[in-house]
Amino acid sequence: MQSLKNLIKTSLLVCLAVVTTFAAIISTSCNRDKCRSTLCANGGVCTNGACTCSIGYQGANCTVVSRLVFIGNWQAQGKSSASESAQYPVSIVAGNSAINNIMIENFQNYFTSPISAYVVNDSLYIPSQQVQGKSIFGSGQIKVAKYPAATTIVINTTATDLTTNITTTETDVLTE
Protein backbone atom coordinates (compact mmCIF):
# COMPACT_ATOMS: atom_id res chain seq x y z
CA MET A 1 0.00 0.00 0.00
CA GLN A 2 2.82 2.38 0.87
CA SER A 3 4.53 1.68 -2.46
CA LEU A 4 1.29 2.43 -4.32
CA LYS A 5 1.05 5.80 -2.51
CA ASN A 6 4.67 6.55 -3.41
CA LEU A 7 4.04 5.56 -7.03
CA ILE A 8 0.98 7.84 -7.26
CA LYS A 9 2.84 10.66 -5.53
CA THR A 10 5.83 10.30 -7.88
CA SER A 11 3.57 10.10 -10.94
CA LEU A 12 1.73 13.28 -9.93
CA LEU A 13 5.01 15.12 -9.32
CA VAL A 14 6.34 14.03 -12.73
CA CYS A 15 3.09 15.11 -14.44
CA LEU A 16 3.20 18.45 -12.63
CA ALA A 17 6.85 18.95 -13.65
CA VAL A 18 6.07 18.11 -17.30
CA VAL A 19 3.07 20.46 -17.42
CA THR A 20 5.06 23.29 -15.75
CA THR A 21 7.99 22.81 -18.13
CA PHE A 22 5.67 22.72 -21.17
CA ALA A 23 3.87 25.90 -20.01
CA ALA A 24 7.19 27.69 -19.43
CA ILE A 25 8.45 26.73 -22.88
CA ILE A 26 5.24 27.84 -24.59
CA SER A 27 5.00 31.16 -22.74
CA THR A 28 8.63 32.14 -23.36
CA SER A 29 8.91 30.94 -26.94
CA CYS A 30 5.74 32.58 -28.29
CA ASN A 31 6.57 35.93 -29.83
CA ARG A 32 3.34 37.65 -30.75
CA ASP A 33 3.36 39.36 -34.13
CA LYS A 34 2.68 42.98 -33.18
CA CYS A 35 2.02 43.79 -36.85
CA ARG A 36 -0.63 41.11 -37.30
CA SER A 37 -3.47 43.56 -36.62
CA THR A 38 -1.76 46.69 -38.01
CA LEU A 39 -2.53 47.70 -41.59
CA CYS A 40 -0.18 50.23 -43.15
CA ALA A 41 -1.60 51.89 -46.29
CA ASN A 42 0.15 53.50 -49.28
CA GLY A 43 3.32 51.38 -49.13
CA GLY A 44 3.90 51.86 -45.39
CA VAL A 45 5.73 49.09 -43.51
CA CYS A 46 4.85 47.80 -40.05
CA THR A 47 7.67 47.32 -37.54
CA ASN A 48 6.90 46.29 -33.96
CA GLY A 49 3.26 47.30 -34.32
CA ALA A 50 3.87 50.80 -35.73
CA CYS A 51 3.76 51.97 -39.35
CA THR A 52 6.72 53.60 -41.06
CA CYS A 53 5.11 55.56 -43.88
CA SER A 54 6.30 56.06 -47.44
CA ILE A 55 7.33 59.59 -48.41
CA GLY A 56 4.25 61.74 -48.89
CA TYR A 57 2.13 59.98 -46.27
CA GLN A 58 1.80 60.15 -42.50
CA GLY A 59 -0.52 59.14 -39.66
CA ALA A 60 -0.91 55.99 -37.60
CA ASN A 61 -1.76 53.90 -40.69
CA CYS A 62 -0.17 56.10 -43.42
CA THR A 63 -3.53 57.27 -44.73
CA VAL A 64 -2.91 61.04 -44.53
CA VAL A 65 -1.32 62.76 -47.53
CA SER A 66 1.33 64.96 -45.86
CA ARG A 67 1.04 67.92 -48.23
CA LEU A 68 -2.69 68.38 -47.63
CA VAL A 69 -2.07 70.24 -44.35
CA PHE A 70 0.05 72.79 -46.27
CA ILE A 71 -2.30 73.35 -49.23
CA GLY A 72 -4.49 76.44 -49.04
CA ASN A 73 -4.54 80.22 -48.94
CA TRP A 74 -2.39 81.83 -46.27
CA GLN A 75 -1.63 85.30 -44.96
CA ALA A 76 2.12 85.84 -44.78
CA GLN A 77 4.18 88.15 -42.61
CA GLY A 78 7.66 88.39 -44.10
CA LYS A 79 10.81 89.95 -42.68
CA SER A 80 13.93 90.13 -44.80
CA SER A 81 17.50 91.07 -43.93
CA ALA A 82 17.21 93.71 -46.68
CA SER A 83 13.70 95.12 -46.23
CA GLU A 84 10.94 96.08 -43.83
CA SER A 85 8.33 93.65 -42.59
CA ALA A 86 5.45 93.13 -45.04
CA GLN A 87 2.12 91.32 -45.15
CA TYR A 88 0.86 89.61 -48.28
CA PRO A 89 -1.27 86.66 -49.44
CA VAL A 90 0.33 83.32 -50.37
CA SER A 91 -1.21 80.22 -51.93
CA ILE A 92 0.17 76.72 -51.62
CA VAL A 93 -1.08 74.26 -54.23
CA ALA A 94 -0.37 70.64 -55.09
CA GLY A 95 2.58 70.14 -57.40
CA ASN A 96 2.48 67.90 -60.45
CA SER A 97 5.44 65.59 -60.05
CA ALA A 98 5.17 63.64 -56.77
CA ILE A 99 2.73 63.05 -53.93
CA ASN A 100 4.83 65.29 -51.65
CA ASN A 101 5.45 68.12 -54.15
CA ILE A 102 3.87 71.56 -53.62
CA MET A 103 4.10 74.94 -55.31
CA ILE A 104 4.18 78.24 -53.38
CA GLU A 105 2.54 81.10 -55.29
CA ASN A 106 3.28 84.81 -54.63
CA PHE A 107 6.06 83.82 -52.26
CA GLN A 108 7.66 86.75 -50.45
CA ASN A 109 5.34 89.03 -52.40
CA TYR A 110 8.07 89.04 -55.04
CA PHE A 111 8.03 85.80 -57.01
CA THR A 112 5.32 85.77 -59.68
CA SER A 113 6.49 82.31 -60.76
CA PRO A 114 5.67 79.52 -58.29
CA ILE A 115 8.43 78.26 -55.99
CA SER A 116 8.74 74.47 -56.01
CA ALA A 117 8.93 72.72 -52.64
CA TYR A 118 8.32 69.32 -51.12
CA VAL A 119 6.83 68.08 -47.86
CA VAL A 120 8.08 65.40 -45.46
CA ASN A 121 5.63 64.97 -42.57
CA ASP A 122 5.36 68.41 -40.93
CA SER A 123 8.40 69.92 -42.68
CA LEU A 124 8.62 71.84 -45.94
CA TYR A 125 11.80 71.99 -48.04
CA ILE A 126 12.59 74.42 -50.83
CA PRO A 127 15.40 72.91 -52.90
CA SER A 128 17.88 75.29 -54.50
CA GLN A 129 16.31 76.74 -57.66
CA GLN A 130 16.66 79.75 -59.91
CA VAL A 131 13.54 81.85 -60.27
CA GLN A 132 13.24 85.37 -61.68
CA GLY A 133 16.94 86.16 -61.48
CA LYS A 134 17.42 84.79 -57.96
CA SER A 135 18.75 81.57 -56.53
CA ILE A 136 16.58 80.54 -53.58
CA PHE A 137 16.49 77.67 -51.08
CA GLY A 138 15.09 77.11 -47.61
CA SER A 139 12.98 75.08 -45.24
CA GLY A 140 10.05 75.43 -42.91
CA GLN A 141 7.77 73.67 -40.50
CA ILE A 142 4.04 73.63 -39.88
CA LYS A 143 2.71 73.99 -36.35
CA VAL A 144 -0.88 73.24 -35.39
CA ALA A 145 -2.09 74.65 -32.08
CA LYS A 146 -5.20 73.18 -30.49
CA TYR A 147 -6.02 76.18 -28.30
CA PRO A 148 -6.48 78.67 -29.64
CA ALA A 149 -7.01 76.72 -32.87
CA ALA A 150 -4.44 77.99 -35.34
CA THR A 151 -2.09 76.64 -37.97
CA THR A 152 1.19 78.40 -38.69
CA ILE A 153 3.96 77.71 -41.18
CA VAL A 154 7.36 79.27 -40.53
CA ILE A 155 9.67 79.31 -43.58
CA ASN A 156 13.31 80.46 -43.54
CA THR A 157 14.93 81.14 -46.92
CA THR A 158 18.14 82.41 -48.40
CA ALA A 159 18.07 84.12 -51.78
CA THR A 160 20.95 85.39 -53.89
CA ASP A 161 20.41 87.94 -56.65
CA LEU A 162 22.18 86.43 -59.66
CA THR A 163 23.01 89.86 -61.13
CA THR A 164 24.37 91.68 -58.07
CA ASN A 165 25.39 88.56 -56.09
CA ILE A 166 23.73 90.05 -52.98
CA THR A 167 22.39 87.43 -50.58
CA THR A 168 19.42 88.04 -48.28
CA THR A 169 17.72 85.88 -45.68
CA GLU A 170 14.02 86.01 -44.92
CA THR A 171 11.63 84.51 -42.41
CA ASP A 172 8.01 84.22 -43.51
CA VAL A 173 5.26 83.31 -41.05
CA LEU A 174 2.13 82.02 -42.77
CA THR A 175 -1.20 81.87 -40.93
CA GLU A 176 -4.64 80.72 -42.03
pLDDT at 20 exceeding the cut of 80: no
Closest CA to 170 of 107, 128, 125, 119: 107
Q: Report pLDDT for 13.
A: 58
Q: What is the pLDDT of residues 122-141, one digit of tens each?
A: 999 999 999 999 999 999 99
More confident residue, 165 or 84: 165
Q: What is the pLDDT of residues 38-68, one digit of tens each?
A: 999 999 999 999 999 999 999 999 999 999 9
Q: How far apart are CA 131 and CA 73, in angstroms?
A: 21
Strands (DSSP E) found in 4-163: 45-47, 50-52, 57-58, 64-65, 72-80, 86-94, 101-105, 115-120, 123-131, 134-145, 150-161
Closest CA to 75 of 57, 86, 89: 89
Kindly report the average pLDDT of the chain as a whole number.
87
Instruction: Check: CB of residue 97 under 8 Å from CB of residue 121.
Output: no
